[in-house]
Structure 1
Amino acid sequence: MRTHLCGIRTAWTESLVAEVAVGEIAGAMAGADVAQLVVFFSPDFDPEALSAALQARFPAAAIAGCSMSGGIAPSGGLDHGLVAIAFPRQRFRIVSTVLDAIDHLDVERTATAVRALRRTLDPQGHDPAPERPPAGYRFALSLIDGLANAEETVVSAISWALDGIPLVGGSAGDDLNFRDAVVLHGGRTHRKAAVLILVETDYPVEIFKSDNFEPTGTKFVVTASDGEKRIVHELNAEPAAREYAMAVGLDPERLSPMSFAAYPLAVKVGGEYFCRSIRRMNADGSLSFFCAIDEGVVLTLAEPRDIVASTRAELARLDALVGGVDLIIGFECVLRRLDAESRQVRQGISDLYRRYNVVGFETFGEQYRAMHLNQTFTGIAIGRMAADTPPGP
């Protein structure tokens, strides 16, 4: 357990019995005035039992969370267990909501719900009062069912309605089982749903994204796909798995998550490349992706850069921006973890996360502003020193 200078407490456990795990977390939080508890949990737990245990132990706190494909804690990566972040009432103002049926999202209704939530931070409906921090001290966290295939629509609708409040988040996973992703909110478990948390704080914050790949000259045109199901049947008018495997020099029959982590694909948007990671190879030779892929899209084969060096540079940049990082809430693609393991550099990443107090979970996708991403590390850095008076314009 750690108590951070900003007052947030973080705790983690590898216990897989709900009552025991929650008891350990509650013990670590003893004496804290918890306004909002955010938890990330492995699919080993029964989510209903976990939710009930959390409600019993933290009756005065709002609780939100999601299932994960691995946890991130200052002690290192957690393959299984429970990670908890407790926001205090002092210097933090937090509101949240759940968005259901995201696989059939009503964009207008979602935007209306997000605007209403945003207004609860400013009940009068105007700009922050003088005693409150400026908009730069606000951020939004999204936790989205990563098996609902809806992140692009959800993130677009949320970002539109947030009116400039920066958004980061992660897609709930279940290791690499692809069977059941769950979000928690208000004492209930939800599937095909998303949780949105808005935070206003007196501490400086900075959202970020970091990746470790660069494009090559190898291109693929998506010539047959099912965008709704995120399945690509053909690349360059050839069976997708075979065309991809031939380009990277692998046996099509032996493609695995490790292969997809080592040889990512990217799409160019607005002059910048973003990963579009492969989830799995299907029996018919098609490829399922973690993002929507439409016909006609040009995918570029990317090659990894030094993941430790790129992550170190990004964390150092954040440290300077916020006047010293106190805590980072991070969302990291599970494929980044696999890539780091295959290159035997996971310990180097863990050392950096320990140094900068990174806590979070490994995802089926990451959100950054209005984008849904893959094979990326996104998050929010919180500085050590509160602003006693709001900075000038």
Structure 2
Amino acid sequence: MEEQFITRALASAHDAHAVERLASSLGPGPFSLVLLFVSPEADVPGIVSGAARAWPDARIAGCTTAGEISGAGYEDGSIVAIGFRARHFAAQTLLIPDLSQLAASELSEALLHVRQSLARDHGHLPEEFALLFVDGLSAREDELASVLAAGTGAMPLIGGSAGDGTNFRETLVFDGRRLLANAAVISVMRGACPLRAFKMDHIRPTERRMVVTEADPAARIVRKINAEPAVQEYARLIGMQPESVDTLTFAIHPLTVRMGERHHVRAIQRVLPSGELLFFSAIDEGMVLTIAEPHDLVDHLAGELQALKQPGNPVAVLAFDCILRRVEAQEKQMTGRVSELLRHHGVIGFSTYGEQIGPMHINHTMTGFAFYPPGTILSGSDP
């Protein structure tokens, strides 16, 4: 029988016995860490308290979602559980309870302490990595990712911003003891499985550019573009009427900012009643934004997932997928094909309001880790 390093389970968000079903499907463990990606339709406090009872010896981390990814592909109204077996992984979690009061030096010190503790007690596990879940409506992801970089160093970190479907009302993270908004939880791990961090992005910049001329950076609100009302100028540049701009528009006509030799998406969350644009990630006056166009989502995803099978098949692929990719798939009637690809390649995770990779908070990507059997020799560099 093939050894399992990471196990997964799925339950309906409306099942009164969801935690019991998840525990039964995950198996007896023991687990060092159990991740839970929970639809906002669920009784989230009940799920969190139930998880603490179901896995008393495991660390628990997770968040609410903008959709789930199970072994069958895209899901809605469900709960995904992922168990890291204690024989092959060790974990500690660190809850950051108030993102409005980030103490950089204290957080870096706490992270270093956790890493040193794991290295001392589990030094036989060669791979070190971290998973981050953060309130997707906090507008603090960029600052947090930057602060964490001092404590994580070269350790690979991947994360996702908690979601609330398409409601954008409340996003929650938890660690098994507390369930909080405006918070984050980081899981620092050591493992036996070699891993590869990845970032998939099917967006390509065009030659059309604009300048943010009036903004509220703290609130991620753009008031004017090219000295014109934001939504009017954005609509003009993409050839639409302002009243027709919606979530699909943002998926099909994303905006990017150039950093070095790469472009990174600065995704629009929604149009405010005032005609201003609310963004998912950091924005500032004077920023030059480039209109981008998506290439074929299915073809790009197929190629990227196939590439993860070199030099061998992963035992698991943990992914954090921007909600705008799901919106694009739905509107272009690609959901079934995307789900089939995710299922075929064993991808599990959730749809996010933003993604983290290393010191960066980004949008319109799929980020994650591919885990390989112990002894696998990996080559190539992380994104």
Structure 2 portions without partners, runs of 5+: none
Matched, 1:356 2:345: yes
Question: Which of residues 36, 42, 46 is equivalent to 1:45?
Answer: 42
**Partner residue of 1:104?**
101
Q: Partner letter of residue 139 of structure 1?
A: F
Q: Distance in 1 between matches of 2:199 and 2:333?
A: 23
Q: Would the aligned equivalents of 2:73 and 2:341 in 1 still touch at CA under 8 Å?
A: no
**TM-score, normalising length from structure 2?**
0.95
Shift of 1:47: 2.2
CA-based RMSD: 1.9
Question: Which of residues 118, 121, 140 is equivalent to 1:150?
Answer: 140
**Partner residue of 2:303?**
313
Matched, 1:328 2:317: yes
Question: Which of residues 352, 362, 387 is equivalent to 2:375?
Answer: 387
Question: Which of residues 281, 298, 322 is equivalent to 2:288?
Answer: 298
Shift of 1:5: 4.3
Distance 1:5 1:253, change over 3 A: farther
Q: Secondary structure at the match of 2:263?
A: strand
Q: Distance in 2 between matches of 1:338 and 1:203?
A: 33
**Partner residue of 1:34?**
31
Q: Secondary structure at the match of 2:166?
A: coil
Distance 1:216 1:117, change over 3 A: same
Q: Distance in 2 between matches of 1:346 and 1:389?
A: 34
Q: Distance in 2 between matches of 1:343 and 1:248?
A: 18
Distance 1:42 1:388, change over 3 A: closer
Q: Distance in 2 between matches of 1:170 and 1:270?
A: 23
Greater shift, 330-339 or 175-184, is seen at: 175-184
Distance 1:156 1:23, change over 3 A: same
Shift of 1:6: 4.2
Q: Partner letter of residue 232 of structure 2?
A: R
Q: Secondary structure at the match of 2:321?
A: strand
Structure 1 portions without partners, runs of 5+: none
Shift of 1:239: 0.5
Q: Partner letter of residue 101 of structure 2?
A: H
Shift of 1:169: 0.7
**TM-score, normalising length from structure 1?**
0.92
Shift of 1:270: 1.1
Distance 1:89 1:330, change over 3 A: same
Shift of 1:292: 1.3
Q: Secondary structure at the match of 1:320?
A: coil
Distance 1:294 1:11, change over 3 A: same
Q: Distance in 1 between matches of 2:12 and 2:34?
A: 18
Give the total of aligned pairs.
379
Matched, 1:204 2:194: yes
Q: Distance in 2 between matches of 1:139 and 1:122?
A: 12
Q: Secondary structure at the match of 1:121?
A: helix
**Partner residue of 1:66?**
63
Shift of 1:388: 9.4
Distance 1:292 1:222, change over 3 A: same
Q: Would the aligned equivalents of 1:202 and 1:388 in 2 still touch at CA under 8 Å?
A: no
Report 1:169-208 matches (<5 A): 169-208=159-198
Q: Distance in 1 between matches of 2:2 and 2:278?
A: 40
